[in-house]
Copies of this chain bind each other. A is one copy, B any other.
Amino acid sequence: MSNSEIGIRLFLQLAVIIATCRAIGWLGRRFLGQTQVFMEMLAGVLLGPSLLGLVWPEAQAWLFPQQLLVDSDAEIAIAHPNMTILYALAQVGLVLYMFVIGLEFDLRLLRGRARSAGLVSAAGIIVPFAAGAVLLPYLLGRPDFFAGDVRPSVAWLFVGSSISITAFPMLARILYERGIASTPLGTLTLAAGSIDDAIAWCLLALVLALFQRSPEIAMLTVGGGLAYGIAMFTVGRTLLRGFARALEHRGELSMDLFTSVVVVLLTCAWITDAIGIYAVFGAFICGAAMPKGELGELLTHRIEQLTTSLFLPMFFVYSGLNTRIELVNSLELWLVTAVVVSISILGKGIACMLAARLAGETWHHSAIVGTLMNARGLMELILLNIGLERGVITPTFFTIMVLMAVVTTGMASPLYHLLSRGLVLDGARVPGTRKPLMTSLKRAS
């Protein structure tokens, strides 16, 4: 297959995927009150074998060619080059995106709200792991959910982290968009969401480490991951401040400065990928360790739009290709799915709502906190895809968990609208103006 043929298909693939994701997103935002990110999750599933593959298999096979026969005699088939390219574009996109998310991550949000945020985020971790423990005996008893050699502790960590993931970027977008990010309710949710996200990711890193083939590699992964995290928030942070000083000195984000940041980011992605805790962690921590302020804003501005528009849809479709709803092919499996969804909502959404109430919020505010904490979004898909790629979970369980992610993410935005409408009627408890505080909310639009 020549480079020229690969190139021709590439541009059409990109155009079709991006146009579809954007169009479906527009419809969902316009008519269903949904977020772009949820609609792109859905678009990924729809473009996969679960819908497009059923109704128009030829188009699906053309758009996502699964295999290329390099020798028909020897029956040797390889991954199609165009799929490898989509995978790479998705990876580069995720790394850039997680870096931007890291840039926005700011523990200063905690100030003054430490107690209630601590309570909500603790509930958002402990209860999901308890819920995971309840589900575990059944899940492990089935032959078709986990890899045969997976230890119960690893499976538990995986299920627990999956339930406790919060779509932090999505939560932040909704709060900023509605202009309530800086209200007590907004900061509480932002703080609790960011803590939960960070903890769930650390636990997933631990899962991946524990699932390594040999104890030596697991040691390297855990030790390397810890060393990387500590290094980035100590020496790394000090060194990265040099970028902020250079920006101050030059007065603009020059190409040299920008490229240096990109090289640091790619190196972080490579290090964490190589030690086995995945490039997305490295990118997120790199972003979180960067000095806040003007540098972060300029970097976000230069990276975000092209990344979100051009590269991120590749991840959603790649994930959608792995989602095969036809695997959930029995009443029992659909019941399992319903139970998983319910326990996930109880374990995360309801648990966080009750914790917020316990911390002194009104029922109305608590319900909003629970609703937003319950959305899992893109973060959950990243986690599930890593689990599938590493062979921790099977395609069947992957699909069930994707359905859980889709349902819990999809209910967040409409439920939030419903709840905040109630608040407006209450008069005194309007959580803030409805006009955006920040003008740069491009991702959610």
Chain B residues with Cβ below 8 Å from A56 are none
CB atoms of B308 and A306 under 8 A apart: no
CB atoms of A11 and B254 under 8 A apart: no
A6, CB-defined interface residue at 8 Å: yes
CB atoms of A84 and B85 under 8 A apart: yes
CB atoms of B309 and A10 under 8 A apart: no
**Nearest Cβ distance between residue A292 and chain B, in whole angstroms?**
20
Chain B residues with Cβ below 8 Å from A252 are 439
Binds B, one of A161-169, A220-228, A264-272: A264-272
Known interface pairs A85-B84, A256-B26, A262-B309; A11-B76 also in contact (CB < 8 Å)? no
Number of interface residues of A (CB under 8 A): 63
CB atoms of B76 and A266 under 8 A apart: no
The complex places the Cα of A92 from the Cα of B6 at a distance, in Å, of: 12
Chain B residues with Cβ below 8 Å from A74 are 71, 73-74, 76
CB atoms of B8 and A274 under 8 A apart: yes
A70, CB-defined interface residue at 8 Å: yes
A113, CB-defined interface residue at 8 Å: no
A88, CB-defined interface residue at 8 Å: yes
Chain B residues with Cβ below 8 Å from A308 are 255
Chain B residues with Cβ below 8 Å from A88 are 6-7, 10, 85, 88-89
CB atoms of B255 and A309 under 8 A apart: yes
CB atoms of B71 and A22 under 8 A apart: no
A310, CB-defined interface residue at 8 Å: yes
CB atoms of A3 and B71 under 8 A apart: no
CB atoms of B91 and A10 under 8 A apart: yes
Known interface pairs A76-B74, A78-B78, A255-B308; A279-B7 also in contact (CB < 8 Å)? yes
**Nearest Cβ distance between residue A367 and chain B, in whole angstroms?**
29
Contact with B along A217-237 (1 / 0, CB 8 A): 000000000000000000000
Binds B, one of A13-21, A58-66, A186-194, A402-410: A13-21
Chain B residues with Cβ below 8 Å from A330 are none
Chain B residues with Cβ below 8 Å from A263 are 15, 18-19, 22
Chain B residues with Cβ below 8 Å from A259 are 18, 22, 309
Taking a contact as CB atoms closer than 8 A, the residue among B81, B96, B279, B305 that contacts A258 in the complex is B305
CB atoms of B266 and A18 under 8 A apart: yes
A273, CB-defined interface residue at 8 Å: yes
CB atoms of A255 and B306 under 8 A apart: no
The complex places the Cα of A443 from the Cα of B255 at a distance, in Å, of: 7
CB atoms of A6 and B84 under 8 A apart: yes
Top 3 closest pairs, chain A to chain B, by CB: A11-B270, A15-B266, A85-B88
Interchain residue pairs with CB less than 8 A apart (14)? A4-B273, A4-B390, A7-B87, A7-B91, A10-B88, A11-B273, A12-B270, A15-B266, A15-B270, A18-B263, A70-B76, A78-B78, A81-B81, A306-B307
Q: Which residues of A contact B (CB under 8 A)?
A: 3-4, 6-8, 10-12, 14-15, 18-19, 22, 26, 36, 70-71, 73-74, 76, 78-79, 81, 84-85, 87-89, 91-92, 95-96, 252-256, 258-260, 262-263, 266-267, 269-270, 273-274, 279, 302-303, 305-310, 389-390, 439, 442-443, 445
